[in-house]
Structure 1
Amino acid sequence: MQSGMDGINVKEAWQNLMGNGVNSYTRNVVLKGNTLYVELTSSVLREELSHGKSKIITMINEELRRDVVKDVVLR
């Protein structure tokens, strides 16, 4: 039950934190275990975000007030 709620909460956190610019290129956000999979339609944006993976993890975990995400996979 908790993992399902975490998935929904992570998706909402992504939308809130990334803003309209990134969200317009985001096709899908899925949490599997402790890994966040983000499907993007822009290879340029994917490259940009890959440089800030640790910051993304920190921001999402702070938004959720607990350590849910350990890794981010951008595809």
Structure 2
Amino acid sequence: MAKRHNDNMPISDILKEFVESNKLQAGLDKVDVREAWNKMMGNGVNNYTTDVQLDRDTLYVALSSSVLREELSYGKQKIVDMLNESIGKNVIKKLVLR
């Protein structure tokens, strides 16, 4: 670690510094988004979800059901807002259902 303030730093601060210095946040965000999708959507939607990918600020979700894709497309912004709230920060700006 490059900068060490004192020996009594909380572990959360040390980890945050490590993540920032090694540019790992984007990878962690991808994992957080995937977990948030699975938790928020439940088994009904997850059974038809074939892929969840975050690319910059766009979330791409592949669904095996065209009916479900159509149904979810009506509430895209609400889904984006709920996922961002679940993650605790605005990671997603756009949702693409395919």
TM-score (norm. length: structure 1): 0.99
Correspondent of 1:37 among 47, 60, 84: 60
Structure 1 unaligned regions, length at least 5: none
Alignment of 1:9-48 (within 5 A): 9-48=32-71
Moved over 4 A (4+): none
**In proportion to residue count, which structure has more strand?**
1
Q: Which has the higher contact order (CA 8 A, sep 6+)?
A: 1
Figure out how many residues of one structure are paired with residues of the other and give that number. Answer: 75
Structure 2 unaligned regions, length at least 5: 1-23
> What RMSD, in angstroms, separates the aligned Cα atoms of the two structures?
0.3
How far the C-alpha of 1:10 sits from its partner, in A, is: 0.1
How far the C-alpha of 1:12 sits from its partner, in A, is: 0.1
Q: Higher Cα Rg: structure 1 or 2?
A: 2
TM-score (norm. length: structure 2): 0.76
